[in-house]
Amino acid sequence: MTTILYIPVTTTPMAALLTGHGLAAWLAQIGKDVIGDTVDVRVANLGQGVTVSTPALLHPEQVQPHHYQQPDLTWILTAKNGTAPKGVAVLDYEDERKHNTAYYDRLKTMRKAGIDLRKLPQDERNALEQQAPHNYWPAAAMINQMSAINAYNKTVERWASCHAVYPELAAIIWTIGSGQPRAIDLAMEQWETLAKQHGLEKNPLLSATQVVNPEQGKGANRAKADALTIGGQENFWLLEYFKYAGLFRSALPRTVQGRKDRKTYVLVPAAGGIELEWHKKAFATFQKEFWASSAIKMDIMVALRYTTLMLEDWEGAQRSTGRRRHPSDYVEGFAVASYKDLGSAVAVMNVSMIGLPDWVEWPKKPDEAQQITQSVEDHQRIIGALDESKGEEERLLRDYRDFLTSRDPALRAFFSFTAGYAGHVIRKLSKRQRVRRLTLDNLKVIIMANESARPKKLKPIIDNLGFQHIASAIRQATVQQQFYKTERNDNTYDVRYGLADELQRHSRDSREFLRALSEFLTDYSKENARVMERAKGKGYRKRIPISTEDIVHLTELIDDYDAQTVASMLIAFGYARDVRVEEPSEPEIGASVGTSDTQDEQSNTSDEGPF
């Protein structure tokens, strides 16, 4: 016996997801009030709709007037609006701004004094954290900045006016979530009848702001094309109320760094659902830890960092039913609304989805969780060190984001990223700039995670000795030799600049690719022989030899697969780091994990702070 409330997706999922998260908090409280004890509540995304469920058997007839809940939302008070309804909690917007400004001013002062915040004693860090913006601030700031305070406060006012008719209001909420045809229309009719009987605001509609309805907006939006009018949209006020409640409980509104553009990330549960109590705890932590960044990088980081959070609390996250193999089996990812600042207004530019990495396997025990967490953090450091303002690095970020969102077993976007990143690594090293590389283990994990979904497996390529030897030769002729040249003034061998681009460029044709690869291997073998001859038996740094058998094995792989697949994997593995062989002192650096991409990125140009 369970209680299930259902919210259909009518356009894109974001509005339904917000409604579901807001409704879940209400159902949890009703369950506690009626039963007298905490009830488990789960939120799930079914694609065509969002469900909120509890194993407790609840009916609207059980709701009594004394079960009335104060609004889940606080009245936002600014200099431009009036006082809140009696008994309603108030958020003083200007006081919150002053509180936040004092916090960021203190951070700037500490940085100017050369104080590393990460090295502060724990008690000082805790005291500083107490001064940070409250978790509710990003949503409140967004509501104000997008001129939605009036519509938001009206939902609070409407709810507060229902104290005397709370059981009837609960019955209307049950109608909304009944899943029957025309459920929303029926609920509005019930409201109109109730309002007429008790002298409440009869009109069931309120403005559908783009803060919680990014799919809707001003324009020619009539369902029936019998006129052309330009105006805002409206929805049932109870739906808007729960959307705003969900905004505070499941959304990450952030300002794009260096701009006034905005993004809002809304958590998307998987079909098996997530436990509400775990979500509340985890999301409160994530809200504090997830700082604003540049547009593309922020899309990537929200997925990687939330995955890390789940892995760090894997025992709590896995409290659910069903067979779960990946973090994405618990949380699919985030729905993303992108807003463009137009000066006098903000316009919705795109509504999309960013998935959690499907290459992350769900751990079975704590030590596995630590190992997988380290792998995800490696990716965070690589992405965090890229600068989106530079064209080449922006392209890399776009490729990586496409990799996360495409769920492509062929890994086309990922190999596009690794090919571009190979050139990025060699350029950084040639300028004596430190750079982090993917490891062979990172690559194997990603490839093997998608293996079962491929009609033609890639594992035989990884296991092929010819492939392994030639990938090692590429590594020794490029990134390893560049390291020896810049860090140890060792010019034993030449650095093969541009090799990744050359192999990638010729991979469209198998014969051309084999010709380009053969030229490299010929030069590589000749150079090995020259160095050995010059050394005349004395000690020197040797490189792996390439045999005709290695070339035969690789040629067979190209015949079995195709040149582009083999070339992509050669470049990926050839420029990756082999931690079992390479010098442990080889320099690598990326962004610190758990903070912004760099400490400097934590100071934002917006007067609302980094959110």
Classify residue 310: in a domain, yes or no.
Answer: no
Instruction: Please enumerate in sequence order all residues whose Cβ is within 8 A of that of 124, keeping only pairs 6 or more positions apart, or say none.
Output: none
- Same domain? For 421 and 548 the reply is yes
Measured in whole angstroms, the distance separating CA 14 from the mean position of its chain's CA atoms is 15
DSSP-based three-state secondary structure for 50? strand
Q: Which residue has the higher pLDDT, 387 or 224?
A: 387
596 contacts 609 by C-beta, under 8 angstroms:
no
518 contacts 474 by C-beta, under 8 angstroms:
no
- Same domain? For 128 and 84 the reply is yes
Classify residue 376: in a domain, yes or no.
Answer: no
- Same domain? For 341 and 448 the reply is no
Classify residue 394: in a domain, yes or no.
Answer: yes
- Same domain? For 245 and 298 the reply is yes
Q: Which residue has the higher pLDDT, 289 or 586?
A: 289
- Same domain? For 411 and 326 the reply is no
253 contacts 335 by C-beta, under 8 angstroms:
no
d(CA 257, CA 242): 29
Q: Residue 323: pLDDT band by 50, 70, 90 thresholds?
A: low
- CB count within 10 Å of CB 297 equals 24
Classify residue 184: in a domain, yes or no.
Answer: yes
Structural domain boundaries enclosing 422? 388-589
Report the pLDDT value the prediction gives residue 12, as an integer from 0 to 100: 76
Q: Residue 449: pLDDT band by 50, 70, 90 thresholds?
A: confident
Report the pLDDT value the prediction gives residue 489, as an integer from 0 to 100: 92
Q: Which residue has the higher pLDDT, 231 or 107?
A: 107
pLDDT at 591 over 60: no
Instruction: Please enumerate in sequence order all residues whose Cβ is within 8 A of that of 338, keeping only pairs 6 or more positions apart, or say none.
Output: 261, 262, 263, 295, 348, 349, 350, 351, 352
Mean pLDDT of 579-589: 57
Domain count along the chain: 2
Q: What is the pLDDT of residues 127-159, one digit of tens each?
A: 888 899 999 999 999 999 999 999 999 999 999
d(CA 311, CA 298): 20
Question: HEC profile for 203-253?
Answer: CCEEECCCCCCCCCCCECCCCCCCCCCCECCEEEHHHHHHHHHHHHHHEEE
d(CA 77, CA 71): 15
Report the pLDDT value the prediction gives residue 585, as an integer from 0 to 100: 46
- Same domain? For 343 and 396 the reply is no
Q: HSE of 239 in the Cβ direction (CA atoms, 13 Å)?
A: 28
pLDDT at 488 over 50: yes
Classify residue 597: in a domain, yes or no.
Answer: no
Report the pLDDT value the prediction gives residue 231, as an integer from 0 to 100: 56
Sign of dihedral through CA atoms 51, 52, 56, 57?
A: negative
pLDDT at 325 over 90: no
Q: What is the pLDDT of residues 209-247, one digit of tens each?
A: 999 999 886 544 554 545 545 557 899 999 999 999 999
- Same domain? For 509 and 405 the reply is yes
Classify residue 475: in a domain, yes or no.
Answer: yes
Q: What is the pLDDT of residues 267-285, one digit of tens each?
A: 999 999 999 999 999 999 9
Q: HSE of 212 in the Cβ direction (CA atoms, 13 Å)?
A: 35
- Output the CA–CA distances (angstroms, integers) from residue 242 to 213, 227, 283, 286, 321, in the order listed: 12, 31, 18, 22, 26
Q: 263: which strand partners?
A: 254, 338
- Same domain? For 84 and 140 the reply is yes
pLDDT at 407 over 90: no
- Same domain? For 475 and 343 the reply is no
586 contacts 483 by C-beta, under 8 angstroms:
yes
- Output the CA–CA distances (angstroms, integers) from residue 203 to 150, 197, 235, in the order listed: 16, 13, 11
pLDDT at 59 over 60: yes
Report the pLDDT value the prediction gives residue 584, as an integer from 0 to 100: 44
Taking the chain, what is the end-to-end CA distance rounded to the nearest angstrom? 42
pLDDT at 610 over 50: no
Mean pLDDT of 508-536: 95
- Same domain? For 108 and 168 the reply is yes
- Same domain? For 151 and 44 the reply is yes
**Of the listed ranges 25-29, 214-218, 449-453, the one predicted with least confidence:** 214-218
Token pair listed for 474: 């590429």
Classify residue 369: in a domain, yes or no.
Answer: no
Report the pLDDT value the prediction gives residue 315, as an integer from 0 to 100: 64
Report the pLDDT value the prediction gives residue 227, as an integer from 0 to 100: 52
Kindly report each contact of residues 583-589 with a partner whose C-beta sits within 8 Å and lies 24 or more positions away, as own/partner: 583/483, 586/483, 586/487, 587/434, 587/435, 587/483, 587/487, 588/434, 588/435, 588/436, 588/437, 589/381, 589/385, 589/434, 589/435, 589/436
- Same domain? For 346 and 424 the reply is no
Mean pLDDT over the full length of the chain: 89
- Output the CA–CA distances (angstroms, integers) from residue 259 to 145, 351, 610, in the order listed: 14, 19, 11
Report the pLDDT value the prediction gives residue 226, as an integer from 0 to 100: 55
pLDDT at 498 over 90: yes
Q: What is the pLDDT of residues 66-77, one digit of tens each?
A: 999 999 999 999
Token pair listed for 73: 């939302």
Kindly state the greatest CA–CA separation across the chain.
104
Classify residue 373: in a domain, yes or no.
Answer: no
d(CA 421, CA 607): 35
pLDDT at 587 over 50: no
Q: Residue 599: pLDDT band by 50, 70, 90 thresholds?
A: very low
Q: What is the pLDDT of residues 540-558, one digit of tens each?
A: 899 999 999 999 999 999 9
Mean pLDDT of 423-438: 93
Instruction: Please enumerate in sequence order all residues whose Cβ is within 8 A of that of 72, keeping only pairs 6 or more positions apart, or say none.
Output: 22, 25, 26, 245, 248
